Structure 1
Amino acid sequence: MTIIKIISYFYLAFAILFIYLGIEQIINGEKFWMSFLIAAIAAFMFFFRRKNLKKMQDHQNRKN
Structure 2
Amino acid sequence: MKFSKIFQYAYLVFAVLFIYDSISKWTINRNGAYISLGLAALAIFMYFFRRKFAKKIEENNNSK
State the TM-score, normalized to the length of structure 2. 0.92
Deviation at 1:52, TM superposition (A): 0.4
**Aligned residue identity for 1:37:** G
What is the match of residue 52 of structure 1?
Answer: 53
Q: Counterparts of 1:50 and 1:38 in 2: how far apart (Å)?
A: 18
What is the match of residue 10 of structure 1?
Answer: 10
Corresponding pairs, count? 62
SS at match of 2:29: coil
What is the match of residue 29 of structure 1?
Answer: 28
**Aligned residue identity for 2:39:** I
* Consecutive unaligned residues in structure 2, runs of 5 or more: none
Spell out structure 1 runs of 4+ moving beyond 2 A.
Answer: none
* Consecutive unaligned residues in structure 1, runs of 5 or more: none
CA-to-partner distance for each residue in 1:7-42, whole Å, 9 max, x for gaps?
Answer: 11001100010001001111x331211000000000
What is the RMSD computed on CA atoms of the aligned residues? 0.8
State the TM-score, normalized to the length of structure 1. 0.92
SS at match of 2:49: helix
